[in-house]
Amino acid sequence: MDTPDPVTKETLAAPTVAPNEEVIEIRDESEDCFECRACGYTYNPIKGDDSGGIEPNTAFDSLPITWRCPVCSARPKAFANIGPVGAASGFKENLGFGFGVNTLTPSQKNVLIFGSLLVGLAIMLSFYGLG
């Protein structure tokens, strides 16, 4: 008869995941930005809040109870977590669809959109030189 392997500290610490089971990733949310749902102000923990006297690198969860939105004076309960700065927007499972645009950060999308508008405007203005 085969005897089972003894239970060790390493075997207890090692996660067991079935081949078809999805692994849930736990990440630190201390660097996530939070957006006010009332006015659209974004609290960036890396920058802090100069007008509210909040030092840089202060996590949203560490804000004092008396802190309010500097634009509309909304309470912290009115803020929604929008994720880390510079991360691709949208759900993780949707990032692989489309022409690769879903993996771009918001600033990269702005450059793509407004850059293509400027190129289109330049092409339209070039038609004046044909006449």
Strands (E), 23-91: 32-36, 42-43, 79-84
Mean residue pLDDT across the chain: 77
pLDDT tens string 11-60 = 545 555 555 665 555 555 667 888 899 898 989 888 888 888 888 888 88
Write out the H or E segment, with its range, that includes residue 13. helix 9-13
Distance between CA atoms of 90 and 41, rounded to whole angstroms?
Answer: 19
pLDDT tens string 56-110 = 888 888 888 899 999 998 998 989 888 777 666 666 666 677 777 777 777 788 8
pLDDT tens string 108-130 = 888 989 999 999 999 999 998 88
What's the predicted TM-score (pTM) here?
0.50
